[in-house]
Structure 1
Amino acid sequence: MPKAYVFTRYGGPEAEALVEQDRPSPGAGQVLVAVRAAGVNPVDWKQRTGYRRPGAAARELPAVFGNEVAGVVEETGPDVTGFAVGDEVFGNPVTGGYADYALLPTTVTAHKPAALSFTDAATLPVAAATAYDAIHQLGLPSGATVLITGAGGGAGVAAAQIAHVLGLRVVGVASDGKKDFVESLGAVHVPSGPGLAERVAAAAPDGVDGVLDLVGGEVLEAAATLLADRTKLITGADRETVARLGGAGVERARTAAVLDKVARLVVDGRLRPFVTGTFPLDRAAEALRTVEDGHARGKIVIEVAR
């Protein structure tokens, strides 16, 4: 039977399990995909603890981990147009992506370019698409300076590169151990930790024009002090704090059109997914711990053998 990596209740890693499950059937507007690769993101383990986006319904347990996949269409549901069995696709699953099979709604599913690997495609629907939406939401002009906190993680790496494509100067906050990695993205590295605001001010003496926060909490608080215009303060990590500070959360488009755009950036060589670790499905726990422990650089991907 097909396998999936799930959490059976809300809590810590002890709630996780690799299980067998029936192959799902696509409903209206959905495609069934044989998963080839699934991206691993912080939101995955956060959902296991009980987190869910504002307005999102509680998930039925056991719930399959994973919010971005790439694979091959095995079956199409009613009212599906534009997709056929055998198509190579990537997108956001409704049933979780750490699995042999996943259901994807066509509204957030895109055709994978032939020049894009399944592994790289699986990194785009969450991290890269969030970064794309966030940088465009800031709306900064070419030549402006953007501060990105959490610049060494999946979304931060993509955001730094997309900002560079748009002609922005990037200051990236990350641990000392990620200094060379952040600088390889064309960003000015600023170490995280106490005194952050002072170090950013020294690295950007003319000030910063916008902030994309991907950490939240005290880091977001410190970054906010560097902005005169709080409408240029957005976060993908801490909506409660950013609202109090006068900023906003990242507004996700969640469309196939955005997926097409980020895929084109990769194919054109302007966006590197930076996959730094891959794991088979039966080692999904290790993949998730790598991200949950906060030590991952770039993206971690689960590859499903076929």
Structure 2
Amino acid sequence: MPKAYAYTRYGGPETETFVDAERPVPSPGQILVAVRAAGVNPVDWKLRAGFFRRPGDTGEPGSPRVFGNEAAGVVEQTGEGVTGFAAGDAVFGNTVSGGYAEYALLPAAVTAHLPEELSFADAAVLPVAAATAYDGLRQLDLPAGATLLVTGAGGGVGVAVVQIARAFGLRVVGTASEAKKDFVEDLGATHVVAGPDLAARVRAAAPQGVDGVYDLVGGDVLQEVAALFDDRSRLISAAARQEVERLGGAPVARARTTAVLDEVARLVVRGDLSPWVTRTYPLERAGEALRAVEEGHTRGKVVIEVGA
């Protein structure tokens, strides 16, 4: 039977296991894909840890839940009503049934054809981080030449935000640890070290002020940078929905469309966006891949490679 890597209850790594999974059958609007690569993201272990349970929900998943929110592979079967995709097509997108598996279901509305120039591994890491970055930048809609502040510029989404913002003609100031200074500057941003008195360092790096903030940290950092400017319509966060709304800004509004995936893929093909895949693991080492992300022992994107 097809293999998949899942968690059986909320908790730590001890809840993770390989499971035999029935080959999924696509429902209307879905695509069954033979997975070739799956992206690994912090949201994967956070779901396992129960971070996103609703208040008062003390229950368990009920059945094993397969890890993974993004994947690339080859179409095996399409569900009723799906057009534009056929068996044998190379595709990538968000998952319905989890990507750390030999087979996964993808919603056709958030699936795109894989350009010939892209590998499965590179495409597999675009639907979460790169698409989130793209959606937020379109939401801010800053004109070319404007200055954007990115908090957490050295993280998975931050790396994509900086690159796409530069492709849009923006000047970028990025906050990150001192250890990531060279990395952030190589991306094309002015580095500002994270930590106390952050606002003062941002003002020194951008004496003309910032025109927008893309927050990826939340907490005290978000509150401090929000005070840098009055137009809170140009303040967005992918890390703290309620907090940014209290400050007069807005959470990143995700489009989750094929069109967005097509656009981020074009940015990669044009050389404006690097997926930054730095480590790959076979499916049988999925636990190691997830530990690398959960423990912060890697820079760049981690991918699980599956199948041929």
Above 0.5 in TM-score? yes
TM-score norm. by structure 1 comes to 0.95
* Counterparts of 1:283 and 1:195, CA distance in 2: 42
Deviation at 1:105, TM superposition (A): 0.9
Of the structure 1 ranges 184-193 and 291-300, higher mean CA displacement relative to structure 2 is found in 291-300
Report the counterpart of residue 171 of structure 2 in structure 1: 169
* Counterparts of 1:256 and 1:60, CA distance in 2: 31
Report the counterpart of residue 136 of structure 2 in structure 1: 134
C-alpha deviations, 1:87-120, integer Å up to 9, x for none? Answer: 0000001001111110011000000011111000
Aligned pairs for 1:178-217 within 5 A: 178-217=180-219
Partner SS, residue 31 of structure 1:
strand
Task: Decide which of 153, 159, 162 is 1:160's aligned counterpart.
Answer: 162
Name the amino acid aligned to 1:234: I
Report the counterpart of residue 91 of structure 1 in structure 2: 93
Of the structure 1 ranges 68-77 and 9-18, higher mean CA displacement relative to structure 2 is found in 9-18
* Counterparts of 1:202 and 1:295, CA distance in 2: 31
C-alpha deviations, 1:4-54, integer Å up to 9, x for none? Answer: 111111122222112221111111111110111111111111111223499
Deviation at 1:298, TM superposition (A): 2.1
* Counterparts of 1:169 and 1:231, CA distance in 2: 19
* Counterparts of 2:63 and 2:195, CA distance in 1: 38
TM-score norm. by structure 2 comes to 0.94
Deviation at 1:294, TM superposition (A): 3.1
* Counterparts of 1:293 and 1:220, CA distance in 2: 23
Contact 1:153 1:299 in 2 (8 A): no
Report the counterpart of residue 37 of structure 1 in structure 2: 37
Aligned-residue identity in percent: 68
Task: Decide which of 218, 224, 245 is 2:247's aligned counterpart.
Answer: 245
Structure 1 unaligned regions, length at least 5: none
C-alpha deviations, 1:248-275, integer Å up to 9, x for none? Answer: 1000000001000110111111111111
Task: Check if 1:124 corresponds to 2:138.
Answer: no
RMSD over aligned Cα atoms? 1.7
Deviation at 1:170, TM superposition (A): 0.4
Contact 2:9 2:61 in 1 (8 A): no
Report the counterpart of residue 49 of structure 2 in structure 1: 49
Structure 2 unaligned regions, length at least 5: none
Deviation at 1:295, TM superposition (A): 4.1
Aligned pairs for 1:58-137 within 5 A: 61-137=63-139
* Counterparts of 1:218 and 1:161, CA distance in 2: 25
Contact 1:178 1:297 in 2 (8 A): no
Of the structure 1 ranges 133-142 and 283-292, higher mean CA displacement relative to structure 2 is found in 283-292
Name the amino acid aligned to 1:23: R
Q: What is the total number of aligned residue pairs between the two structures?
A: 304
Name the amino acid aligned to 1:36: R
Name the amino acid aligned to 1:39: G
C-alpha deviations, 1:208-243, integer Å up to 9, x for none? Answer: 111111111122122212122111111111112111
Of the structure 1 ranges 107-116 and 186-195, higher mean CA displacement relative to structure 2 is found in 186-195
Of the structure 1 ranges 94-103 and 201-210, higher mean CA displacement relative to structure 2 is found in 201-210
1:217/1:294 CA distance change after superposition, 3 Å = farther
* Counterparts of 2:295 and 2:116, CA distance in 1: 34
